[in-house]
Structure 1
């Protein structure tokens, strides 16, 4: 995840379109494809995003300063009703749109997978990107600023741009967990605590 961007290097629109082309190849339950992406690439839209999503009591930070230099923000939205409608179709066998049938909210999961394809595509294209959350208290202001309908849930946001020199996150000191400590074969076995 890149948290500092070169503000003098815009990302070509065709490259952003290419990244979104990767996103629509993500798997989705029932091929529901219940995702939508809001692309913010004008300086005005990017500045408005930060103004409506940054809490008033937020302290100035290097993270926010570096992230706000990204020339592009893509906000992925999940659309629950696309899944409920799809699974009420005859080939799926359900006759209702009961959300309780779903073991987990696949609309969010599938949108997350689509977002991951954007992130991986950004790396392949020589860009930097970072996925982060929009504070829940700021979502109404975000919706109002960009006319986002209530039926669409922003699951986060992604900054995209050309990488600038950055400080490593202190969180990296935790180290990456080894595959053997998170993998269980045949039956669940205790793993090391975080």
Structure 2
């Protein structure tokens, strides 16, 4: 598929067909994610892959959606056979930029104009989403509620020095992909590009 078509077709899919995802395709998503730009080639990310029914069910429970919880969004999202959780390590970036080739002598966060540990993990997540489209799949990026981060960490043994940037459901698109989402209710803005000056 042409890259422009991948970009054009990328949508957040909220309902999936009852078909497994080829593990080789999941591996390609992760290989592409690891090619994302990252400050200082820190590679301070990690990816938790949940691709068994038990692990996926445990994810939903750990993030606050017990088996009896029901709503249109959740009912659709729970049909995904795969959940990928991109995580980032701020400590990895602070350590990397305290190395000799970067010229900083400490791990101070004050030097960072923006927290690139979040930015880089977001770029990696986008490559997962784009690879899903290229492979003919659907995917949806969403946040893990803050009040459930501790239970998520406990359920999957996530170390304290890694934080999830969100989660991505992956699967074959259902005929009815669920709620249309915000783009169905809002126009795409055309006033975001400024050339030369604002």
**What TM-score does the superposition give when structure 2 sets the normalisation length?**
0.89
Corresponding residue of 1:128:
138
CA distance in 1, matches of 2:28, 2:189: 32
Pair 1:60 & 2:84 matched: no
CA distance in 2, matches of 1:3, 1:185: 36
Q: Tell me by how many angstroms 1:28 deviates.
A: 0.3
Task: Tell whether the 8 Å contact from 1:22 to 1:121 is kept in structure 2 after alignment.
Answer: yes
Corresponding residue of 1:192:
none
CA distance in 1, matches of 2:86, 2:155: 16
- 1:81-120 equivalent positions in 2, closer than 5 A: 81-120=91-130
- Partner-residue secondary structure (3-state), 1:174: coil
Task: Tell whether the 8 Å contact from 2:87 to 2:162 is kept in structure 1 after alignment.
Answer: yes
Runs of 5+ consecutive residues of structure 1 not aligned to the other structure: 189-194
Task: Tell whether the 8 Å contact from 2:73 to 2:179 is kept in structure 1 after alignment.
Answer: no
Pair 1:169 & 2:180 matched: yes
- Partner-residue secondary structure (3-state), 1:44: helix
CA distance in 2, matches of 1:59, 1:12: 29
Q: In 2 relative to 1, CA 130–170 (structure 1 residues): closer, same or farther, beyond 3 Å? A: closer
- Partner-residue secondary structure (3-state), 1:182: coil
Q: Tell me by how many angstroms 1:59 deviates.
A: 6.4
What is the RMSD computed on CA atoms of the aligned residues? 1.4
Q: In 2 relative to 1, CA 170–10 (structure 1 residues): closer, same or farther, beyond 3 Å? A: closer
Number of corresponding residues: 184
CA distance in 1, matches of 2:104, 2:13: 43
Q: Which runs of 4+ in 1 moved over 2 A?
A: 166-170
Task: Tell whether the 8 Å contact from 1:55 to 1:138 is kept in structure 2 after alignment.
Answer: no
